[in-house]
Amino acid sequence: MSRRTWLRATGRAAVPIGAVALVFVVWGVLVRVLDVPRYVVPSPAATLNTLREDWPRLWGLTLTTTKECVIGFVVGAAVGFFLAVAMAQIRTIQRIAYPILIASQAIPIVAIAAPLVLVLGFGLAPKIVIVALIVFFPVVVNTLDGLNSVDRDLLNLARVMDGRALRVFLNIRLPATFTPLFSALKIGATYTVTGAVLGEWTATAGRGLGNYLLEQNARLNTAAVYGAVLLLTAIGIAGFLLISALERLATPWRTRSTARRVVRLRRRDTEGER
C-alpha cells in the first residue's frame, strides 16, 4: 500500500470516528450543562465505566445477541433471495406469493412474537425467526426488482446466441440484483438488532442484551441500560459495515473511478509530451 493510499484510507476512517467522538462530546456537555440527573441520563464516562465493570457478563450476552442476529440474517436473506428468484422465473409463483408477502408485512412483528414463542419455545428458534422475518421482505422485494429490471433486449440477444438459461442467469440477471440486493442487506443488517431484542423480550427465559436491558431498567440502573444500548448499536453498525465491505468486493466496478483513470492517463500523456 502506497503512502498516498494509506493517507486516503486514514482520512476516510477519521471522518466517521470523529463523528462518533463528537456525539459523545455533545452528550457529555449537555448532561453537564443542563445538570441532568444521573438516573435520567448518565454521562458517557459513567456509561463506559459501567460497561467496563460488567464486561465479563456483557461479553457473553453480546455474543448471544450477535449469534441471533447473524443466524436470523443469513436465514432471512437466503430464503428471501431464493424466493425472489423463483418468483422471477415462474410468474405463477409471483402472482400467488407477492400479495401474501405484502399482507404479511401489515402484521406487526410484535403481534406475532408471542405466538412464535408458544409454538417454538423459549430457545433460540423464535428469535431467529423474528430476525429472519425482518430481513426477509426487503430482500425479496429488492431482489425481485433487480431481476425484473434486466433489459429484455439483452435477454433476447443472449437467447438468440444460444445462451443457456443458467449462464444467462449468472452473467446477466444475477449481476443486475447486486445493487438493490446489497441495499436490502444493509437495511436488514441494522434491523436485525431490533428483531433479536424483540425476541429476547418476548422469550424472557433466554439470555442476551435485550434481557440484560430489561433487568437493569427494572433496577433503575440507567448507566447499564445506556451501556446495553451502545453495545446493540455497535452490533448493528458492525453488520452494516460488514455488508458494505462485501458489497465492495462483489461489485468492484462500482468503486472504480473511471474519471480518475482518465485523468491519470492524460497526465501521463502530458508528461510524455513534455
pLDDT tens digits in sequence order for the chain, 274 residues long: 556 665 565 666 677 788 888 888 898 898 888 888 888 889 899 999 999 999 999 999 999 999 999 999 999 999 999 999 898 888 888 888 888 888 888 888 888 888 888 888 778 888 899 999 999 999 999 988 888 887 777 666 777 676 677 777 777 777 878 888 899 999 999 999 998 998 888 876 668 899 899 899 988 899 999 999 999 999 999 999 999 989 888 888 766 654 455 445 455 555 555 5
SS3 256: coil
Q: SS3 for 68? A: helix
Is residue 264 included in any domain, yes or no?
Answer: no
User: What are the cell numbers at 68?
Assistant: 441471533
pLDDT of residue 177: 82
Going by C-beta distance under 8 Å and a sequence separation of 6 or more, which residues neighbour residue 200? Answer: 65, 68, 127, 206, 207, 208, 209, 210, 211
Residue 26 placed within a domain: no
What pLDDT shows up at residue 262? Answer: 43
CATH of the domain at 119: 1.10.3720.10
- Give residue 39's pLDDT: 83
Report the pLDDT value the prediction gives residue 259, as an integer from 0 to 100: 43
> Which residues, including other chains, have CB under 8 Å from residue 227's CB and lie 6 or more apart?
47, 48, 50, 51, 54, 58
Distance CA 98, CA 104 (A): 10
| Residues of the domain holding 203 | 57-252
How many structural domains comprise the chain? Answer: 1
- Is 220 among the domain residues? yes
In a domain, 11, yes or no: no
Cα 127–chain centre separation = 16
Within a domain: 259: no
In a domain, 43, yes or no: no
Helices within the chain (DSSP H only) = 3-33, 44-53, 55-89, 91-105, 109-120, 125-148, 152-160, 165-168, 174-176, 178-202, 209-218, 222-250, 252-255, 258-273
Nearest Cα neighbor of 147 from 108, 104, 177, 190 is 177
Sorted by sequence, the CB contacts under 8 Å of residue 133 that are 6+ apart come out as 76, 109, 112, 195
CA 163 – CA 23 distance, rounded (Å)? 54
Q: Cα–Cα distances in Å, from 140 out to 70, 153, 183, 268?
A: 18, 24, 12, 47
The pLDDT value recorded for residue 267 is 56
Number of neighbouring beta carbons within 10 Å of residue 184: 27
Q: Is residue 25 part of a domain?
A: no
Q: How far apart are the C-alpha atoms of 79 and 162, rounded to whole Å?
A: 31
d(CA 261, CA 91): 43
Angle of helix 109-120 relative to helix 125-148, nearest 10 degrees? Answer: 130
Residue 21 lies in a domain: no
The answer to whether 89 and 166 are in contact (CB under 8 A) is: no
